[in-house]
């Protein structure tokens, strides 16, 4: 099975799900627990306090060794002999001589609670990664984390042991490479399920998010797998946590907490295939200042240490597999100082190594539990103490290291094994479904034969042998693998057609045994059926059996059969020919020069005449037979025309004349060419004409009469009141209309609606007209009688409140007021504005009018607010509820307004006594006044000017403008000191006894440029180019001077390229070393000439792999070309560089061509009775024979050769028998012309011509 890898290539064959348990202790990350087997590279522990613990002799031995001087933790790594290679305290990287490496200063403050994690670079025995998190302090007095600590996150370095004279150094440009900021103070590593790669795991600070980074031979994937939980156990601190994996690699524990931030402890499942954490379970349900967690050597027990805050520590023991883990708690030794030194500060870290549990107390002693696998009783602890040399001390925690040989065996797994199935069977291919995660994206290619091409393990049912490619995209990497499903190529010959009397060879292939329906059991059989026949064959091998079939059809004789065979019609005439022939190709001749090769054409004869046509039906199969059918078409010319349609007026007559015939018969009975008609109604007249060619041709003509006009409307009489709208209805049958309304007004509408505005009697009329040529019309009259009455209730009036007024109506003889009064005059005294309505009538028509009596009320001044206190500038929106008409505002500061409800802004402080005067300017003339008081104060806030600092610096912000201050940081002083890590805006509120004001100031934080990395291959072949891409900050510059992120370079020799980016706070850079490899020198065999049919061995050398132009991939190939051929071979060396060379094999060919110039069809010898083409080594030919009139009588392209009767080579074509196209039709004449052209097998061409004498 082939395997392809791309991107961060990852061997799918080991991609299986494996669950690993993570213990989370809410405090700091403790060291990774390896399987309980001591390994030489971890036999020496270098503490970051001038202290070393040596296990190489068995029992641990202290020595005052080392150069580190912090109290947190360290990370160290040794060789296979137990010698320390290098170590780090999180601040510096030290070599084996305890000197800081030349590029070894990695941070300016103390390392994290868990020291750097050092792991080997996969595939490079001299390089190592150092992953670390930072605590942010180098002293005992300042806390390493917490609200004021540093939130530095996870970053890594690359150490190369070939540098610094073999003592090792951090690779330039490969230091402090950031992966994620703001993490806890711990980092652990877990082996990937494939036993090759590994995971780096941290927790995001102040969250329940866990980040898993995958590390492969292609480097560190910067895209993490994030496991998020809700309702978790994180405390309000950056670090203060530890992690520990179980030795069986199935769980991880976490503990967390400090004296100020108590926490819990939990166990997580960890899937070391996907990197995902899941299923948290509490170890202890008590919130305490947990410090560390560890598994017993046999993984049956879990140990926790607790900081008492008084210099003492307590250790607890739990049963890992208990149904209720918290309920299995046992307190070991109580809250005791362990008999240690008085300066014990209570930080108690743990480490399992071999079969022993070691406990550190951040002082000068080491405690050893002698029976860590034994379930203890409360209060009982078996241990003894080792004391470090004077001047040295153990740290809070043990050195961090990664024992990547955990106690499980990696699983080997591929997309599926290459396999074999029978045709029509199916099988399931692909990955195990155990390793499943939403981050995994599957894609199979090709999709043919698969039920789902995005499933991890689809069902496959290919119809032929197929190689399926599985591509998995996961995080930064792409993994590919292939599986081939082999399907036997059982096959039988294609269906075929033969001529009657011929035979054919049928073939089956792909099996080891065959059973035909004929009874034959060989792969090849010969059959000569007399009718169409289906032959069945069963194909079998040792595993599979299938059936196939072959249909052998017989070519039948061609019969040309069409209709009509004769036709008589009048031009233009269309004939749809029906073709019932059984040919494959057709040639129509319509007898007028037009032709067609359609099967059943439809053809239009446009001219009169007699046409003799034909159809040649041809069978273009190898039997090559044809037949001809003939037809006759007679087209005649004729046509009668009765003339155009006619319109006459009533009483008039029209003359109708027919043309186009010899004799005529009209529908009136007349037989003359012209007739005179005078119809009283619209009438159609028909005429039938007859001639000697097209009999009984008919046409018609319409004679139309316009109808008489009748004027008809309603109403004809109308009585009513003036201003009534009258809707006239017109049912006349005219075309145009003219209305006269009897008052000088007219209309040309069809049915108008008209309103008479005055009283009187109006005599009107309508004229309806037909505007056609006969121009007839009709008139109708109507009478309209209208009366009118006008009512006036008098003018509107205004009174003062309490007064009365007399209202008088005129314009009728009877009245009705809205008050109920029926007199012409009434007296009213309304209290509010009131409309009065009066209706007057004369007994026939009525009318209504109204009058408004307005009442002027007393003025009341009413506003809000009446009192107001505020800070200037302040805007007051006054509300005016007064009922005056005019208003005069005095704002108490000299400003005035005449608006009804003004909005006014006081811009200065003080007390202002204002007023509003509301006035009614009507004849009653009343007014009212209201006063108001406004008190205004002022205060101004100033937070200072915006500024910019670098990350890690601080700045003093000073506010002014008030007597009290409040910053959004909670500070209440005028000046504060801030150290933001990101650009931050600070808000200040200042106050006096009445007013307050706010201002803000922004402190921008410039960060050092993030890590710069270069991606791209590190080796190329000479003459090619490579693309390098910088990932990191911009702007940037390359050593080539380019400023784009991606550059393409074509070095002629090995070259280093660097890229860097600089800002106010630092520089980030990276270097790529490109190795240029020369192409291989390919040597091939010399050019050679051989006889046709011979073979020769061609050999190439100078490379690791070869690809010939034949497709062969060996260094030697055997060839037997039929013509001169140049063979090209491309050789590729171990570095992937290739070169090309070629060799020419020439063919020696004896080729000739010959055509006899005479033959007799009466000869007894076939080669004299038929005309063949003779020659040798002919590849292709076209042999054509014409008669003396230039008509083709024979043609063949048969280039297959056969021995002549004399045994010599060779005769070509099937041979001309002297008849028309070998059909047996005798030809006249004795001399013919041939043309012969083609190509010899060596590529040479020939083109011959000459005469042939045929002896009958």
CATH of the domain at 905: 2.60.40.10
Distance CA 1032, CA 840 (A): 97
Query: For 377, phi and psi rounded to 5 degrees?
Result: -95, 155
Question: Between the CA of residue 669 and those of 324, 666, 691, 1230, what are the distances in Å?
Answer: 123, 5, 19, 72
Q: Are 1079 and 1102 in contact (CB under 8 A)?
A: no
Burial class (CB in 10 A: 0-12, 13-18, 19+), 822: exposed
pTM: 0.43
For residue 396, tell me if it sits in a domain: no
Distance CA 187, CA 131 (A): 7
Q: How crowded is residue 300: how many other Cβ atoms within 10 Å of its Cβ?
A: 14
Last residue in a domain, options 524, 555, 586: 555
Q: How crowded is residue 903: how many other Cβ atoms within 10 Å of its Cβ?
A: 10
Last residue in a domain, options 1102, 1124, 1148: 1148
Mark whether 64 and 185 lie in a shared domain. Answer: yes
Mark whether 909 and 987 lie in a shared domain. Answer: no
Query: What is the dihedral sign for C-alpha 1223, 1229, 1231, 1233?
Result: negative
Cα angle at 1015 between 1012 and 1020, to 5 degrees?
A: 140
Mark whether 1089 and 1073 lie in a shared domain. Answer: no
Q: Are strands 466-474 and 477-486 parallel, antiparallel or unpaired?
A: antiparallel
Distance CA 127, CA 77 (A): 12
Distance CA 4, CA 481 (A): 6
Close Cβ partners of 764 (under 8 Å, ≥ 6 residues apart): 739, 740, 741, 742, 781, 782, 783, 784
For residue 641, tell me if it sits in a domain: no
For residue 654, the enclosing domain spans: 646-704
- What pairs with residue 1030 in β-bridges? 1014
For the chain, the residue count is 1256
Mark whether 675 and 759 lie in a shared domain. Answer: no
For residue 403, tell me if it sits in a domain: no
Query: What was the pLDDT predicted at 68?
Result: 63
Token digits for 1228? 């006249």
Mark whether 134 and 169 lie in a shared domain. Answer: yes
Q: Are 253 and 24 in contact (CB under 8 A)?
A: yes
Domain count, the chain: 12
Q: Are 698 and 687 in contact (CB under 8 A)?
A: yes
CATH assignment of the domain containing 1239: 2.60.40.1220
C-alpha dihedral (431, 436, 438, 440), degrees to nearest 10: -30
Q: Are strands 419-420 and 477-486 parallel, antiparallel or unpaired?
A: parallel
Helix, strand, coil percentages in the chain from 3-state DSSP, rounded to 5: 0, 50, 50
The strand ranges marked E within 771-877 are 776-787, 797-800, 805-808, 814-817, 825-828, 834-841, 846-856, 863-864, 867-871, 874-877
Q: Within 13 A of 81's CA, how many CA atoms are on the CB side?
A: 2
Mark whether 1100 and 968 lie in a shared domain. Answer: no
Q: Are 1056 and 1071 in contact (CB under 8 A)?
A: yes
For residue 1024, tell me if it sits in a domain: yes
| Tens-place pLDDT, residues 149-177 | 344 689 999 999 999 999 999 999 999 99
Last residue in a domain, options 682, 704, 726: 704
Mark whether 1169 and 1090 lie in a shared domain. Answer: no
Q: Are 626 and 583 in contact (CB under 8 A)?
A: yes
For residue 616, tell me if it sits in a domain: yes
Token digits for 562? 């069409």
Task: Give the residue ranges of DSSP H helices in 3-74.
Answer: none
Mark whether 59 and 206 lie in a shared domain. Answer: yes
Query: What was the pLDDT predicted at 148?
Result: 32
Close Cβ partners of 734 (under 8 Å, ≥ 6 residues apart): 709, 711, 768, 769, 770, 777, 778
For residue 405, tell me if it sits in a domain: no
User: In 3-state terms, what secondary structure has residue 1220?
Assistant: helix
Question: Between the CA of residue 748 and those of 735, 745, 1089, what are the distances in Å?
Answer: 11, 11, 110
Distance CA 787, CA 375 (A): 125
Distance CA 350, CA 114 (A): 12
The H or E element that residue 565 is part of is none
Mark whether 929 and 992 lie in a shared domain. Answer: no
For residue 399, tell me if it sits in a domain: no
Cα angle at 431 between 443 and 411, to 5 degrees?
A: 140
Mark whether 339 and 468 lie in a shared domain. Answer: no
Mark whether 90 and 109 lie in a shared domain. Answer: yes
Q: Are 585 and 611 in contact (CB under 8 A)?
A: no
For residue 981, tell me if it sits in a domain: yes
Q: Are strands 459-460 and 100-105 parallel, antiparallel or unpaired?
A: unpaired
Token digits for 756? 């008479």
Among the listed residues 120, 154, 124, the one whose alpha carbon sits nearest the alpha carbon of residue 402? 120
User: In 3-state terms, what secondary structure has residue 15?
Assistant: coil
The rounded radius of gyration (Å) of the Cα atoms in the chain is 57
The strand ranges marked E within 89-170 are 92-95, 100-105, 117-120, 127-133, 154-160, 169-170
- What pairs with residue 890 in β-bridges? 896, 915
Q: Encode 987-1000: b = buried (16+ Cβ within 10 Å), e = exposed.
A: ebbbbeeebebebe
Distance CA 261, CA 125 (A): 43
Mark whether 473 and 498 lie in a shared domain. Answer: no
| Tens-place pLDDT, residues 1146-1189 | 877 677 888 888 887 776 666 677 888 988 889 999 999 988 77
Which residue has 């530890």 as its token pair? 242
pLDDT, block means (10 residues), the chain with 1256 residues: 32 30 34 47 72 74 69 79 86 90 78 80 91 58 34 86 95 92 84 83 85 91 89 52 68 69 77 86 78 82 75 78 89 51 49 72 66 71 53 64 50 60 86 64 89 88 90 79 87 85 86 92 89 92 88 82 87 87 88 92 88 87 78 79 86 86 87 90 86 71 84 88 87 88 90 88 89 77 86 87 88 87 91 88 81 83 89 89 88 91 90 90 77 87 90 90 89 91 91 85 88 88 90 89 90 89 87 90 88 84 92 91 89 90 82 84 72 88 85 89 78 87 79 90 86 82
Q: Are strands 496-499 and 383-387 parallel, antiparallel or unpaired?
A: unpaired
Query: What is the dihedral sign for C-alpha 903, 908, 909, 915?
Result: negative
Distance CA 242, CA 25 (A): 5
């Amino acid at each position: 099975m082939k395997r392809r890898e791309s991107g961060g290539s990852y061997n799918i064959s080991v991609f299986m799900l494996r669950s690993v348990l993570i213990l989370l202790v809410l405090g700091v990350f403790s060291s990774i627990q390896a399987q309980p087997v001591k390994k030489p590279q971890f036999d020496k522990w270098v503490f970051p306090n001038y202290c070393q613990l040596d296990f190489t002799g068995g029992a641990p031995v202290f020595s005052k060794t080392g150069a580190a001087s912090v109290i947190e933790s360290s990370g160290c790594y040794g060789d296979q002999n137990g010698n320390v290679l290098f170590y780090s305290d999180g601040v510096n990287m030290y070599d084996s001589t305890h000197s800081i490496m030349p590029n070894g200063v990695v941070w300016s403050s103390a390392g994290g609670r868990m020291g750097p994690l050092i792991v080997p670079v996969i595939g490079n025995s001299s390089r190592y990664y150092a992953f670390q998190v930072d605590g942010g302090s180098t002293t005992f007095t300042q806390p390493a984390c917490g609200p004021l600590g540093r939130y530095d996150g996870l970053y890594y370095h690359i150490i190369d042991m070939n540098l610094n004279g073999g003592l090792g150094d951090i690779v330039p440009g490969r230091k402090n490479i950031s992966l994620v900021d703001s993490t806890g103070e711990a980092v652990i590593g877990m082996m990937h399920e494939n036993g090759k790669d590994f995971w780096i795991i941290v927790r995001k600070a102040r969250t329940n998010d866990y980040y898993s980074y995958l590390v492969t031979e292609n480097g560190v994937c910067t895209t993490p797998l994030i496991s998020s939980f809700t309702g978790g156990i994180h405390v309000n601190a950056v670090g203060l946590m530890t992690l520990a994996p179980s030795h069986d690699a199935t769980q991880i524990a976490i503990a967390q907490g400090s004296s100020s931030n108590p926490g819990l402890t939990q166990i997580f499942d960890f899937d070391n295939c996907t990197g995902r954490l899941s299923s948290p379970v509490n170890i202890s349900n008590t919130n305490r200042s947990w410090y560390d967690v560890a598994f017993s050597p046999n993984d049956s027990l879990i140990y926790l240490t607790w900081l008492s805050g008084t210099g003492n520590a307590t250790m607890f023991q739990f049963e890992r597999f208990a149904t209720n883990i918290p309920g299995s708690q046992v307190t070991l030794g109580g809250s005791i100082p362990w008999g240690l030194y008085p300066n014990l500060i209570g930080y108690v870290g743990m480490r399992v190594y071999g079969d022993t549990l070691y406990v550190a107390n951040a002082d000068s002693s080491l405690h050893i539990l002698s029976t860590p696998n034994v379930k203890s009783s409360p209060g009982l602890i078996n241990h003894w103490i080792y004391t470090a040399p004077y001047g040295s001390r153990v740290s809070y925690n043990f050195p961090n290291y990664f024992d990547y040989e955990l106690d499980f065996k990696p699983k080997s797994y591929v997309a599926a094994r290459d396999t074999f199935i029978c045709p029509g069977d199916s099988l399931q291919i692909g990955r195990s479904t155990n390793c499943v995660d939403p981050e995994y994206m599957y894609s199979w290619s090709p999709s043919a034969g698969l039920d789902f091409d995005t499933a991890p393990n689809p069902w496959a049912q290919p119809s032929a042998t197929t190689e399926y490619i599985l591509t998995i995209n996961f995080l930064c990497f792409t993994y590919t693998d292939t599986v081939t499903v082999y399907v036997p190529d059982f096959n039988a010959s294609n269906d075929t057609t033969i001529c009657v009397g011929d035979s054919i060879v049928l073939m089956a292939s792909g099996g080891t045994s065959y059973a035909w329906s004929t009874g034959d059991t060989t792969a090849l059989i010969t059959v000569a059926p007399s009718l169409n026949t289906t032959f069945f064959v069963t194909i079998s091998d040792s595993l599979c059996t299938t059936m196939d079939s072959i249909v052998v059809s017989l070519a039948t004789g061609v019969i040309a059969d069409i209709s009509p065979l004769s036709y008589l019609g009048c031009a233009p005439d269309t004939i749809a020919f029906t073709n019932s022939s059984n040919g494959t190709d057709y040639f129509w001749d319509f007898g007028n020069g037009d032709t067609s090769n359609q099967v059943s054409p439809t053809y239009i004869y446009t001219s009169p005449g007699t046409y003799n046509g034909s159809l040649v039906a041809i069978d273009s199969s190898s039997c090559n037979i044809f037949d001809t059918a003939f037809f006759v078409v007679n087209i005649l010319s004729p046509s009668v025309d009765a003339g155009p349609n006619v319109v006459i007026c009533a009483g008039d007559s029209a003359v109708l004349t027919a043309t186009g015939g010899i004799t005529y018969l009209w529908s009136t009975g007349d037989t003359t060419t012209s007739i005179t008609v005078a119809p009283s109604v619209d009438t159609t007249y028909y005429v039938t004409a007859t001639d000697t060619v097209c009999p009984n041709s008919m046409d018609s003509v319409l004679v139309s009469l316009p109808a008489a006009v009748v004027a008809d409307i309603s109403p004809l009489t109308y009585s009513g009141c003036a201003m009534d709208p009258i809707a006239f209805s017109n049912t006349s049958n005219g075309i145009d209309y003219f209305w006269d309304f009897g008052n000088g007004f007219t209309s040309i509408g069809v049915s108008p609606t008209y309103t008479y505005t005055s009283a009187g009697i109006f005599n009107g009329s309508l004229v309806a007209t037909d505007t056609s040529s006969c121009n007839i019309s009709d008139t109708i009259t109507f009478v309209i009688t209208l009366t009118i009455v006008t009512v006036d209730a008098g003018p509107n009036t205004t009174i003062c409140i309490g007064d009365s007024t007399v209202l008088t109506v005129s314009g009728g003889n009877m009245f009705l007021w809205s008050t109920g009064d029926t007199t012409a005059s009434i007296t009213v005294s309304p209290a509010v504005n009131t409309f009065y309505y009066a209706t007057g009538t004369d007994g026939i028509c009525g009318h209504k009018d109204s009058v408004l009596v307005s009442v002027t009320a007393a003025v009341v001044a009413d506003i809000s607010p009446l009192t107001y206190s505020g800070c200037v500038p302040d805007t007051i929106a006054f509300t005016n509820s007064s009922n005056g008409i005019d208003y005069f505002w005095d704002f108490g500061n000299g400003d005035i307004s005449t608006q009804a409800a003004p909005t006014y802004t006081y811009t200065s402080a003080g007390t202002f006594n204002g007023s509003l005067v509301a006035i009614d300017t009507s004849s009653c003339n009343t007014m009212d006044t209201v006063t108001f008081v406004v008190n205004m104060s002022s205060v101004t806030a100033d937070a200072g000017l915006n500024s910019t600092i670098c990350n890690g610096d601080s700045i003093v912000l000073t506010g002014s403008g008030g007597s009290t201050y409040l910053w959004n940081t909670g500070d209440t002083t005028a000046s504060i000191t801030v150290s933001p890590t990101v650009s931050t805006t600070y808000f200040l509120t200042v106050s006096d006894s009445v007013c307050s004001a706010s201002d803000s100031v922004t402190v921008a934080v410039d960060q050092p440029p993030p890590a710069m990395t270069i991606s791209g291959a590190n080796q190329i072949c000479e003459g090619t180019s490579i693309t390098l891409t910088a990932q990191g900050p911009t702007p940037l510059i390359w050593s080539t001077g380019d400023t784009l992120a991606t550059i393409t370079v074509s070095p002629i020799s090995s070259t280093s390229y660097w890229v860097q980016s600089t800002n106010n706070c630092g520089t980030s850079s990276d270097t790529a070393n490109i190795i240029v490899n020369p192409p291989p020198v390919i040597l091939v065999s010399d050019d050679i000439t051989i006889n046709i049919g011979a073979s020769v061995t061609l050999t190439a050398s100078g490379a690791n792999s070869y690809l010939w132009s034949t497709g062969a991939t060996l260094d030697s190939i055997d060839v037997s070309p039929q013509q001169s051929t140049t063979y090209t071979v491309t050789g590729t060396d171990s570095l992937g560089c290739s070169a090309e060379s070629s060799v020419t094999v020439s063919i020696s060919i004896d080729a000739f061509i010959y055509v006899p110039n005479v033959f007799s069809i009466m000869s007894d010898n076939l080669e004299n009775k038929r005309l063949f083409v003779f020659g040798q080594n002919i590849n292709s030919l076209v042999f054509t024979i014409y008669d003396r009139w230039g008509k083709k009588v024979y043609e063949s392209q048969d280039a297959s050769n056969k021995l002549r009767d004399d045994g010599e080579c060779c005769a070509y074509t099937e041979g001309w028998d002297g008849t028309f196209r070998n059909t047996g039709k005798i030809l006249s004449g004795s001399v013919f012309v041939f043309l012969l052209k083609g190509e010899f097998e060596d590529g040479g061409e020939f083109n011959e011509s000459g005469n042939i004498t045929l002896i009958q």
